[in-house]
Amino acid sequence: MSSISSGFEDAFGFAGIGRWECALDGETLRLDDVCRELFELTKNEALSRDVIMERIAEHERDRVFSALDLLVREGQEFDETFKLVLPSGRERWLRGVAKFRSDSGGDMVMGVSFDVTSEQKLLAERDLHLAEINHRIKNLFALVAAMISSASRESSDKDEVVTNLRDRVTALDRAHSLMLKTDASRPIPLEALLSEVLAPAHSRQTIIMSGSKVLIPAKAITLLVLIFHEWVTNSAKYGALRHTDGTINVEWSPYDGGVDIHWRELVPDYDVDAEKGFGSRLIQASAMQLKAEKVRRFEGGWLCIDMRLPLDDY
């Protein structure tokens, strides 16, 4: 490496790029200071091919060294990203780029290595988010299919079937839109979810919401929105939201591992039919998937729904 000026050497070092070269006769193996730091090698360790090999994660070695063989035998470009196993325990990925040179001085592989850990972590997060989104989409398709199947059995009136399905799909869309306002993998405040679902049905009724801040994990949002939507739909059909002077009081309080949600609405003319039908089964199925416990009762003109929602599994 003595042929490279000190100015260029400084520039490589400032950029965090480590340089290395290896003679095919096995007599020369050189790593500069930056490269040794990237591999966490002492000067003596940097002379050992075996130690350098051990620094590369075991499941990556065959791929990396096969690519080096192809570089030497066929002149293919070496450009590989691999994970290191470091003595310090730090998590680090390197990208190595090398070329083969053959001249009067002998056959030599010359390359550079640089840290791409931050980029690899971003890629891993992206893949995780895509997996979560794909999982959520599959769940949505399953829910929609179940709603179509059950709604068609519930009513012989085409317009009623279409209206019910449209309302429920719209609820899912609102939940999805709410998640798009932030990172799709991040939790959303419980109050924001309730407000979003209540907004389309709320006019002059009195809506009181109270409770300390509780964040709902992304994986629980869709099912919880479906439950809230059914409560709101039943209220608009049979309960407080059917009257301009109706009153709904929603309170919640966290406990260790979850949240207790209490829905109260003033319904003097409560109709027990509100507890029947596909909507009720949808609530039960959603609550079961959330591992939530729910109790519904009517007391002194008030419809009361208590739900204990565990959150520590998400």
Q: Which of 139-148, 194-203, 229-238, 278-287 has the highest mean pLDDT?
A: 229-238
pLDDT digits (tens, 9 = 90+) for 280-295: 777 887 888 889 999 9
User: What is the per-residue pLDDT for 284?
Assistant: 81
pLDDT digits (tens, 9 = 90+) for 86-130: 999 999 999 999 998 887 767 888 999 999 999 998 888 787 667
Percent of the chain beyond pLDDT 70? 75
Do 128 and 51 reside in the same domain of the chain?
no
SS3 for the chain, per residue? Answer: CCCCCHHHHHHHHHCCEEEEEEECCCCCEEECHHHHHHHCCCCCHHHCHHHHHHHECHHHHHHHHHHHHHHHHHCCCEEEEEEEECCCCCEEEEEEEEEEEEECCEEEEEEEEEECHHHHHHHHHHHHHHHHHHHHHHHHHHHHHHHHHHHHHHCCCHHHHHHHHHHHHHHHHHHHHHHHCCCCCCCEEHHHHHHHHHHHHCCCCEEEEEECCCEECHHHHHHHHHHHHHHHHHHHHHCHHHCCCCEEEEEEEEECCEEEEEEEEECCCCCHHHHCCHHHHHHHHHHHHCCCEEEEEEECCEEEEEEEEECCCC
Average pLDDT over residues 221-250: 83
Which of 35-44, 245-254, 277-286 has the weakest average pLDDT? 277-286
Q: What is the CATH number of the domain that holds 259?
A: 3.30.565.10
Do 235 and 277 reside in the same domain of the chain?
yes
Do 156 and 204 reside in the same domain of the chain?
yes
Q: Is residue 1 part of a domain?
A: no
User: What is the per-residue pLDDT for 2?
Assistant: 42
Overall domain count for the chain: 2
User: What is the per-residue pLDDT for 205?
Assistant: 83
Between 135 and 79, residue with greater pLDDT: 79
Domain limit, last residue, from 59, 82, 115: 115
Average pLDDT over residues 257-261: 94
Q: Is residue 221 part of a domain?
A: yes
pLDDT digits (tens, 9 = 90+) for 44-83: 888 888 889 999 999 999 999 999 889 988 878 899 999 9
- Per-chain mean pLDDT for the chain: 80
pLDDT above 70 for 26: no
Do 242 and 282 reside in the same domain of the chain?
yes
Do 148 and 21 reside in the same domain of the chain?
no
Do 111 and 135 reside in the same domain of the chain?
no
Percent of the chain beyond pLDDT 90? 32
Average pLDDT over residues 266-274: 71
What is the total residue count of the chain?
314
pLDDT above 90 for 134: no
Do 262 and 138 reside in the same domain of the chain?
yes
CA-to-CA distance for 240 and 232, rounded, in angstroms? Answer: 9
Do 177 and 221 reside in the same domain of the chain?
yes
pLDDT above 50 for 4: no
Which of 229-238, 249-258, 259-268 has the weakest average pLDDT? 229-238
pLDDT above 60 for 17: yes
pLDDT above 90 for 250: yes
Q: State the residue range of the domain holding 57.
A: 6-115
